Amino acid sequence: TDMRRRLRLRGDASLTLLLGAALALLLYAQRDGSAPTSSAPQEPGRVARRPTLRPRMFQVPDVPDAGAAPPAYEEDTPAPPTPPGPFDFRGYLRAKDQRRFPLLINQPHKCRGDGARGGRPDLLIAVKSVAADFERRQAVRQTWGSEGRVQGALVRRVFLLGVPRGPGTEGADAEGAAMPAHWRALLHAESRAYADILLWAFDDTFFNLTLKEIHFLAWASAFCPDVHFVFKGDADVFVHIGNLLEFLAPRDPAQDLLAGDVILQARPIRVRSSKYYIPEAVYGLPVYPAYAGGGGFVLSGATLRRLSSACKQVELFPIDDVFLGMCLQRLRLTPEPHPAFRTFGISQPSAAPHLHTFDPCFYRELVVVHGLSAADIWLMWRLLHGPYGPVCAHPQPVVAGSFQWDS
């Protein structure tokens, strides 16, 4: 009898274990089936982007709570190029009117050209960078940011840097900047080697990217007054320069143009723990003006000069792409949306989750893709510009219309 009872208990335990395992598998399958098909984790409240010729509008999510707020700036912005760290708003408000800093490394001859066309560049590439990001700068120099003639257009390049801080920082030098001695030596050596470094005497922090914006606009207006077009972006973007030049070919550089990934109705973040936290004392309106994602956008020489003047009259704001939207608003200019500017990367198509988005046939259709490593930038450039090139459905890039996942 005892033996029979032990066998029955053992059988009950085994059955319970089997049922528990089956239930766990069922729950896992249901969770897996409802998971997003994007290659990157979907952030809460973020609406999946679809190719469109219209600016991206933040809308109320389709959820039972009709009073839910639309996605805010933090959830619809890629990671910044510079780690933000804690932000002292009291200090910011005290120093917000300090907007003129010395230029420590200049490239005064950058836009004098090669003499073939009177020295006027057709395209100036300006890349936001930090001192420690030499690897990314090299990737840009060797790939999409190389200088010279591209499809007959004269291309020039500069990198925009502030002063790095850290151990070994010396006292302020003759220009008023304090910088670690090794960084000073390395950046001056890099400038002598490549003649593409612009260094200003403000701290290189996330919230000082606005200072890079206004100082670059002033520099370009002074040293590149005749430039036709300017592409400005981050060091972690891939740019198909050929497609960009095709887009610009019919445009008049004397007319206003600022094109990119346009965002409308972005709301300020009011949560103190957020890296994009903006208190109402700094910005009291409920939404930001229309702006182009700072990962990469293009503007005409005429707009460059007008923006440089307008930004001098706009109070500084600690988020650079939103600040530029404020300057555009002052000029009553609307940024132009273009579907080939992907400042949020390439989303995995839900209808074809098996596709790999890191494929030259995707990049061949676009102008800007944000969020690549230095190795990825170099590899994609070689895949697109190798001796054989990618085998794709279209014989030529398609940049004028919406991106087609079934191409």
> Is 401 among the domain residues?
no
Does residue 403 carry a pLDDT above 50?
no
Mean pLDDT of 226-242: 95
Would you list the DSSP string of 255-287?
S--EEE-EEESPBPB--TTSTTB--TTT--SSS
Does residue 69 carry a pLDDT above 70?
no
Binned at pLDDT 50, 70 and 90, residue 290 comes out as very high
Does residue 224 carry a pLDDT above 50?
yes
316-360 pLDDT, tens digit per residue, is: 998 999 999 999 999 999 999 999 999 887 776 666 666 677 888
Q: Which residue has the higher pLDDT, 294 or 231?
A: 231
Q: How high is the pLDDT of residue 386?
A: 80
> Is 394 among the domain residues?
no
> Is 28 among the domain residues?
no
pTM of the model: 0.74
Binned at pLDDT 50, 70 and 90, residue 91 comes out as low
Q: Which residue has the higher pLDDT, 55 or 194?
A: 194
Mean pLDDT of 273-285: 86
**pLDDT above 90 coverage of the chain, percent:** 50
Q: How high is the pLDDT of residue 202?
A: 92
> Is 375 among the domain residues?
yes
Burial tier of 293 (Cβ tally within 10 Å: 0-12, 13-18, 19+): buried
CA angle 338, 339, 342 (to 5 degrees): 105
Binned at pLDDT 50, 70 and 90, residue 274 comes out as confident
Most confident stretch, 33-37, 41-45, 272-276: 272-276
Mean pLDDT of 272-290: 88
Does residue 229 carry a pLDDT above 80?
yes
How far is it, in rounded angstroms, from Cα 126 to Cα 357? 27
How far is it, in rounded angstroms, from Cα 404 to Cα 407? 6
Q: Which domain holds residue 216?
A: 96-165+183-385
Q: How high is the pLDDT of residue 78?
A: 45
Mean pLDDT of the chain: 77
Q: How high is the pLDDT of residue 347?
A: 74
Q: How high is the pLDDT of residue 270?
A: 87
> Is 177 among the domain residues?
no
155-171 pLDDT, tens digit per residue, is: 999 999 999 976 544 44
Q: How high is the pLDDT of residue 74?
A: 46
Which of 61-65, 97-101, 280-284 comes out lowest in average pLDDT? 61-65
Under DSSP, is residue 279 helix (H, G, I), strand (E, B) or coil? coil
Looking up residue 371, the CATH number of its domain turns out to be 3.90.550.50
Q: Tokens representing 369?
A: 């893709």
Q: How high is the pLDDT of residue 318?
A: 87
Q: How high is the pLDDT of residue 16?
A: 57
Q: How high is the pLDDT of residue 55?
A: 60
Which of 104-118, 294-308, 319-333 comes out lowest in average pLDDT? 104-118
> Is 5 among the domain residues?
no
How far is it, in rounded angstroms, from Cα 166 to Cα 154? 38
Q: CA gyration radius for the chain?
A: 25
Which of 237-246, 258-267, 272-281 comes out lowest in average pLDDT? 272-281
Pairing state between β 153-163 and 197-203: parallel
Helix (H) / strand (E) element for 31: namely helix 2-33
Binned at pLDDT 50, 70 and 90, residue 117 comes out as very low
> Is 362 among the domain residues?
yes
Q: How high is the pLDDT of residue 155?
A: 96
Does residue 177 carry a pLDDT above 60?
no
How many domains is the chain partitioned into structurally?
1
> Is 403 among the domain residues?
no
